[in-house]
């Protein structure tokens, strides 16, 4: 499978996320499936993909920063005496950080033709984690912000794919790895909060009133 096909597949997976959300909302217990499916998918992405990559660059600091990323939004909400209304900025911050990871994905896809035996596995990994992230962002964020988030992730992938070889060493810098780990923790907090609230993702953070 060519690197171009893998790139198009990763972008298509992101674009299909809103349609999958809409389809699942129409089936019994669909919102529950979305909430927990997204949380499990994002948890798998963070633990199985993002953190190992970050740890290769900055060691165990990646785990510590991810835990800080989990905790800080909760503390901020408690301090501000808000349950939900402050989560959209946190989600956008997380997406900005993971935009760097999207660049790494794009660079890896561009280089996949050089390692044919792993190209399909890499492409499927990127595609599978784009679906839950895209579905979660579409549910958590107001529509304009969700479109910005999609543009960041899709644009980051394209930039990484086009620049490829030149970009890969810079994205491996420890400081950027630490930022990605922190952002991954924040993103996991946002989706965990949405799942534990027991309501539709579209109403947990984006539309809930402040207390």
Instruction: Tell me which of 124 and 17 has the higher pLDDT.
Output: 17
What's the pLDDT tens digit per position in 103-149? 888 887 887 766 655 666 766 777 778 888 888 888 878 888 889 88
Q: Which of 143, 104, 132 is nearest to 190 (CA)?
A: 132
> What is the residue extent of each domain of the chain?
3-204
Q: What is the pTM of this model?
A: 0.75
Percent of the chain exceeding pLDDT 70 equals: 78
What percentage of residues in the chain have a pLDDT greater than 90?
7
Q: What is the pLDDT of residues 71-84, one digit of tens each?
A: 887 777 666 554 44
The full DSSP string for 123-141 is: HHHHHHHHHHHHHHHHHHS
Cα 175 to Cα 70, 71, 180, distances in angstroms = 19, 20, 9
Within 8 A by CB and 6+ apart from 206, the residues are 87, 88, 140, 141, 142, 145
HSE value, Cβ hemisphere, 13 Å, CA-based, for 33? 11
pLDDT bracket for residue 199 (50, 70, 90): very low
What would the pLDDT profile of 153-185 be if each residue is shown by its tens digit? 999 999 988 887 676 676 667 888 888 888 888
**46 has a pLDDT exceeding 60:** yes
Integer Cα distance of 20 and 17 in angstroms: 5
- pLDDT computed for residue 204 by the predictor: 41
């Amino acid at each position: 499978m060519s690197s171009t096909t893998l790139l198009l597949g990763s972008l298509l997976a992101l674009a299909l996320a809103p349609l999958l959300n809409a389809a699942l909302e129409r089936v019994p217990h669909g919102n529950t499936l979305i909430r927990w499916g997204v949380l499990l998918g994002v948890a798998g992405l963070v633990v199985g993909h993002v953190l190992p990559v970050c740890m290769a660059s900055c060691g165990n600091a990646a785990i510590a920063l991810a835990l800080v990323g989990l905790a800080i939004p909760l503390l901020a909400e408690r301090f501000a005496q808000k349950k939900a209304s402050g989560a959209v900025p946190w989600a956008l911050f997380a997406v900005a950080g993971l935009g760097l990871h999207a660049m790494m994905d794009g660079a890896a896809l561009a280089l996949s033709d050089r390692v044919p035996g792993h190209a399909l596995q890499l492409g499927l990994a990127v595609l599978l984690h784009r679906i839950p992230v895209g579905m979660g962002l579409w549910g958590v964020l107001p529509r304009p912000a969700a479109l910005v988030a999609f543009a960041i992730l899709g644009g980051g992938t394209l930039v990484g794919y086009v620049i490829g070889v030149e970009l890969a060493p810079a994205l491996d810098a420890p400081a950027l790895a630490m930022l990605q780990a922190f952002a991954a923790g924040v993103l996991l907090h946002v989706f965990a909060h949405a799942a534990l609230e027991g309501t539709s993702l579209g109403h947990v953070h984006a539309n809930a009133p402040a207390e």
